[in-house]
């Protein structure tokens, strides 16, 4: 997802635009992470005039505890992808397969939302349709961004979603995908993506993306829902648990991948709050977005295009979700 949005970049292949964003969140990221230490709490005024305040001590404590409890787990212990999986991670089967595991997450439901869809390039009229996101209307979906060599965000997110699904199902969770590339052949629209998580009564939902910012801008960030109460949107009940989910995912993602927090948004925390994303505004379940890196930066692009690294990324995201669900 390009930060040149406001929600996604313009639906033109590989041509991101820059535009407004709501950056701000003050948070403490776990001190146990690889050499990053304790992030300072800070407040920041977003482009919409809102001022974000520092995250609560309880959120930081929960994130630190989650990191400490899994400190002995390393990227080398991440399960290997299934033998039948190609580099794109494509596997056969329903995008809403029930769990067959017997782990600690039995009874928990996770919805994974792979950002964009490889078929969006062939359905520009459909994805340009305006939908209501509570605060205003936006495009149904967009094509997403790509690396300079043409590796698309939609291809990346779908591969990562398959890897993440495998890991969570091994923990016993029931995992549902909002789409599986060709089912449906485009979209779904951002409002429908939120409704899929709501209808599943998900215990946690995450939308997977990669950014399309300028070269030299690198690193990941997790996007948290801001407080919205307008039209069909009311995020107030999920702001707290979504923040906790985001802090944990940010911490474990950093530890497992070594990818630094973004150097261009979030003030070095790896956390950003936004109120202009339909997938968050319309969610009634705890949900976050993760921008896994910047596809237009050569250093990040080399990671994002590596199947080995994507497995580490899936492991980091999985551990954050598992930690959140075990303690919720």
Cα separation of 146 and 144, whole Å?
7
Q: How many CA atoms lie within 13 A of 219 on its CB side?
A: 19
Q: 228 near 134, Cβ under 8 Å? A: yes
List, in order, residues 6 or more apart from 25 with CB less than 8 Å away: 44, 52, 55, 224, 266, 269, 271, 272, 273
Cα separation of 260 and 257, whole Å?
9
- Look at residues 270, 264, 208 and name the one whose alpha carbon lies nearest to residue 4: 264
Indicate left, alpha or beta for 130 from its phi (over 0: left) and psi (-120 to 50: alpha).
beta
Question: Would residue 291 show up in a list of annotated catalytic residues for this protein?
Answer: yes
> Which member of 7, 153, 291, 319 is catalytic?
291
Q: Please tell me whether the peptide bond between 209 and the residue prior to it is cis, using omega within 30 degrees of 0.
A: no
Just list the catalytic residues.
Answer: 291
């Amino acid at each position: 997802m390009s930060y040149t949005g406001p929600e996604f970049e313009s639906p033109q292949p590989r041509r991101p635009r820059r535009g407004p964003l709501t950056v701000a969140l003050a948070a403490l990221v776990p001190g146990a992470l690889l050499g990053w230490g304790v992030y300072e709490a800070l407040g920041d005024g977003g482009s919409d005039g809102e001022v974000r305040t520092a995250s609560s001590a309880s959120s930081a404590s929960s994130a630190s505890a989650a990191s400490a409890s899994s400190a002995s787990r390393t990227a080398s212990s991440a399960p290997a992808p299934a033998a039948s999986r190609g580099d794109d991670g494509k596997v056969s089967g329903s995008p809403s397969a029930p769990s067959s595991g017997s782990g600690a997450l039995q009874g928990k439901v996770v919805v994974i939302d792979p950002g964009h869809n490889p078929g969006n390039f062939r359905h520009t009229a459909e994805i340009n349709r305006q939908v209501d996101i509570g605060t205003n209307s936006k495009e149904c979906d967009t094509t997403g961004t790509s690396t300079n060599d043409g590796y698309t965000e939609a291809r990346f997110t779908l591969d990562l979603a398959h890897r993440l699904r495998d890991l969570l199902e091994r923990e016993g969770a029931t995992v549902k995908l909002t789409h599986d590339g060709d089912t449906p052949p485009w979209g779904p629209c951002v409002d429908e993506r939120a409704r899929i998580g709501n209808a599943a009564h998900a215990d946690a939902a995450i939308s997977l993306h990669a950014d399309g910012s300028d070269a030299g801008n690198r690193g990941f960030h997790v996007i948290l829902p801001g407080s919205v109460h307008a039209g069909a949107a009311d995020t107030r009940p999920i702001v707290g648990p979504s923040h906790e989910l985001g802090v944990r995912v940010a911490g474990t993602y950093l530890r497992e991948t070594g990818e630094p927090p973004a150097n261009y948004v979030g003030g070095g925390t790896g956390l950003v709050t936004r109120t202009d994303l339909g997938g968050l505004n319309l969610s009634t379940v705890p949900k976050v977005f993760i921008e896994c890196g910047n596809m237009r930066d050569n250093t990040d692009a080399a990671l994002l295009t590596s199947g080995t690294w994507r497995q580490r990324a899936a492991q980091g995201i999985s551990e954050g979700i598992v930690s959140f669900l075990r303690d919720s």
